[in-house]
Structure 1
Amino acid sequence: MDILIEFQDNLVRQLTNTFRRYLHQKINWQQRMIAIKGPRGAGKTTLMLQHLKFDLGLPAHALYITADHTWFYTHTLLETATDWYKQGGRLLFIDEVHKYPRWSRELKNIYDGLPELQVVFSASSALDIYRGEADLSRRVISYSLAGLSFREYLLFTQEISYEVLALKDVATQHRAFSQSVLEKVQPLPHFKKYLQKGYLPIIAEGEDEYLPKLEQIINAIVDTDLAYIASYNTGTAIKVKKLLGVIAESVPFKPNVSALARKLDLSRDSVYQYLYQLRDARLLNTLVAEGKGVATLQKPDKVYLGNPNLAYALRANPDVGNLRETFLLSQLQNIAAEVLAPKSGDFLVQDFVLEVGGKGKTSAQVKDTPNYLIAADDIEMGSGQRVPLWLFGFMY
């Protein structure tokens, strides 16, 4: 076990506590088994290590391990947890659990066989922890960590703190909140940077390195994460990347599944499957029309990229209108809001119809809708039902 303890110590040595993700305070850290899911680069590892170091004080009974460590070439997860328990261990953090082939069965064995051991594990957002080969539904509490909101981005890069707003507050009190922001910072220049290079905390490693690193993350999600989770081979990964590229060229994308299947030499069912796997991996967001039933593997009415930064990684000159819609949908999805495609307007959420556009956007398309908001870009302050688009980035 010494090699694992040394690995942990090396990681926490340089760890700081200057910034914490929004999810940290929402987790009930007392639960026996906790899952933290999220896209690569969102900060799952840092979140766990910050709790270990700064909340718990690196106690002797706690250990951090990662499931892709070479240790697991010759040891099992269950064996490791059991040995740690025998040495007095009572808390085990397991990173990247989806990279361990028998993760669900051995987690179940750990939960059932070591009742005094608490386990916190992280996994790709694409992993369905309730559909592994063993039933964890009654054993694990799951949390999802999204990329940075615009509010978090300002805290992370400018060290300026603001409160979280509910959607109804954005709708009804946007002038007061906008004014409170303007007293500290001009949001528009920062918002432009956020849309291009601000969704993931890797921005701390430098703006010039951000998009190349994001491209590496996209490749790693398809080549590695989905390979583990969905048993992709090299040929499958290439087709999935082509599908992602086709969508990136024309988002918001109204999928013609038959045409996609012919273009990529896939079955219709495979296209559906890959669309939803990319959605679960947070590389895409999907939208179904108002009044449509929710069915597994049904054709989405629109497909968007998972966040606006992806557009800059996948295209040379992304369309600004698409960026605006992608941003707003990602923020709504990240607060777990149910978002539909309305008959008029761009998004329907919590009885609000949202129409997205630039500073000159009018209510012409939604004026007959009783409860609408115009999410207008390039404005610092709104009025009435015109709300600054950037303010929707303060919801988490």
Structure 2
Amino acid sequence: MDFTRFFNEQQNYLRKVKLDFTRYLYDYIDFNEQAMMIIGQRGVGKTTLILQYLKQNFQTSQKALYVSMDNPLFSVISFYEFALDFEKIGGEILLIDEIHKLKNWSSHIKTVIDQSNLKLIITGSSMLELDIKGADLSRRVVKYYLNIMSFREFLSLNLKDNFPKYSLDEILTNHYEIAVSLTSKFKPLAYFKDYLSYGAYPFATDKISFHSKLMNVINQVLQTDIPYVCSLNYANIDKLKKLLFLLSQSVPFSLNISELARACEISRPTLIEYLKYMQSAGLIINLYNKNRGYNAILKPDKIYLSNTNLAYALSSAPNIGNLRESFFVSQISAYADGKFKNNFIMLNKSGDFIVDDKFIFEIGGAKKSFNQIKDIPNSYIVADDIEIGSGNKIPLWLFGFLY
């Protein structure tokens, strides 16, 4: 096979790639692994990340090649044979984008790993989380999850500065000192509302067209990513759109599962299945009450949009209380490796959330009191509209520095 066209296309891509800002995950990936997969929702920067690696290490080399599986060519040729032909001309690394677009992708990847010495760097929809467990790849492919941009990354991108990240324990123990240090460099509240509206995706630098771009992302997830992985009937895509819109109007959504199913004109079991798909696609986060535990067949007790930008894209006037809770949930969920570990953050009878089965959090505005969680060990107020907290009252924006 003649690879000239592919290398020419690759150079076109690399000319557009900038290296002045990289996502947090870049520093954590072990690029020496034979096969690694970066999964995440559409628009978070997976393609840019692997092209940055390519530009930094192989810009003038033909040992590495980037290919996207949405190229129509791969509908008529064997990807396995393509990979072996690339190895024959001296290729060492294949960077494979949007692997979920390749039919029977897992068998192709497994065969390439077993029958060649090629290194594989793969990206795919976060929906693959549902599919990978069924494929015999757990011992062959190292998996990484790329989350939305944190508030810290948004500031780094806009202020052209490198800000440190802090563990949850560091924030709970030393939030006063951390906030004093950070606020000497920037005014967090001047940027925080911007982040809530348009800061969770790398294309946040384009404020004018941001929400229209995000709506395109939402539509592509619903119309392309979910159907590719779940074999969803296209006739049901409009029902997914209606479901997402209804959720956006009242987030956090205290579920009446039967009413919601009727509104979407689907059955109760189908609704629960769709909620699972939409969480895996990175559109929503389903949370459960701690006293119920977690069971995949049970309905979630509350549903949050996976980030606040989605609320602004879907609604002209999102509720501020809902935005605050959604921000906290999104940052904590991403901190837990983006795997939506339902036992890491759960709803709680006392306070809004319990995290890591021991820390109680109540979310609110600057005047939020401790009345609901007084005398409860390891309990904290997470307050919006304050730069610096004290005692067990912590600024909401500071939880944007977890990753």
Q: TM-score range by the shorter chain?
A: over 0.9
1:56, distance to aligned residue in structure 2 (A)? 4.3
Distance in 1 (alpha carbons) for counterparts of 2:43 and 2:177: 33
Which of 92, 95, 98 aligns to 1:96? It is: 98
Q: Confirm or deny that 1:373 pairs with 2:375.
A: no
Distance in 1 (alpha carbons) for counterparts of 2:233 and 2:8: 34
Partner of 1:385: 392
Distance in 1 (alpha carbons) for counterparts of 2:314 and 2:209: 15
Partner of 1:107: 109
Tell whether the 8 Å contact from 1:104 to 1:133 is kept in structure 2 after alignment.
Answer: no
- 1:16-69 deviation digits (Å, cap 9, x = unpaired): 110011000111111111000011111101110111111444532110100001
Distance in 2 (alpha carbons) for counterparts of 1:177 and 1:151: 13
**Residues 134 and 377 from structure 1, CA distance in 2 versus in 1: closer, same or farther, beyond 3 angstroms?**
closer
Distance in 1 (alpha carbons) for counterparts of 2:203 and 2:352: 30
Partner of 1:251: 251
Distance in 2 (alpha carbons) for counterparts of 1:200 and 1:131: 25
Which of 65, 76, 79 aligns to 1:77? It is: 79
Q: Structure 1 runs of 4+ off > 3 angstroms? A: 55-58, 129-134
Distance in 1 (alpha carbons) for counterparts of 2:142 and 2:295: 25
Partner of 1:343: 349
| SS of residue paired to 2:398 | helix
- 1:99-142 deviation digits (Å, cap 9, x = unpaired): 1111111111111111x111110001111265476411111110
The share of aligned pairs that are identical, in percent, is 41
Partner of 2:276: 276
Q: Confirm or deny that 1:138 pairs with 2:139.
A: yes
Q: Confirm or deny that 1:118 pairs with 2:100.
A: no
- 1:283-327 deviation digits (Å, cap 9, x = unpaired): 001111113332223211110000000000111100000000000
Partner of 1:333: 333
Partner of 2:201: 200
- 1:219-239 deviation digits (Å, cap 9, x = unpaired): 000001112111223321100
Matches within 5 A, 1:3-14: 3-14=5-16
Q: Confirm or deny that 1:395 pairs with 2:402.
A: yes
Query: What is the CA RMSD across the aligned residues, in angstroms?
Result: 1.4
Query: Which residue identity is paired with 2:354?
Result: L
In structure 2, the gaps of 5 or more residues are: none
| SS of residue paired to 1:291 | helix
- 1:167-196 deviation digits (Å, cap 9, x = unpaired): 111111111111111111111010010000
Partner of 1:187: 188
| SS of residue paired to 2:331 | helix
Distance in 2 (alpha carbons) for counterparts of 1:193 and 1:129: 33
1:264, distance to aligned residue in structure 2 (A)? 1.8
Distance in 2 (alpha carbons) for counterparts of 1:59 and 1:157: 32
Tell whether the 8 Å contact from 1:248 to 1:311 is kept in structure 2 after alignment.
Answer: yes
Distance in 1 (alpha carbons) for counterparts of 2:130 and 2:124: 9
Partner of 1:357: 364
Q: Using structure 1 for the length normalisation, give the TM-score.
A: 0.97
| SS of residue paired to 2:347 | coil
Distance in 1 (alpha carbons) for counterparts of 2:134 and 2:383: 47
Partner of 1:87: 89
Distance in 2 (alpha carbons) for counterparts of 1:101 and 1:295: 31
Tell whether the 8 Å contact from 1:104 to 1:129 is kept in structure 2 after alignment.
Answer: no
Distance in 1 (alpha carbons) for counterparts of 2:316 and 2:118: 49
Distance in 2 (alpha carbons) for counterparts of 1:131 and 1:207: 35
**Residues 98 and 58 from structure 1, CA distance in 2 versus in 1: closer, same or farther, beyond 3 angstroms?**
farther
Give the number of equivalent residue pairs.
394
Query: Which residue identity is paired with 2:352?
Result: D
Larger CA deviation: 226-235 vs 87-96? 226-235
In structure 1, the gaps of 5 or more residues are: none
1:263, distance to aligned residue in structure 2 (A)? 2.0
Query: Which residue identity is paired with 1:322?
Result: N
Query: Which residue identity is paired with 1:360?
Result: K
Partner of 2:159: 158
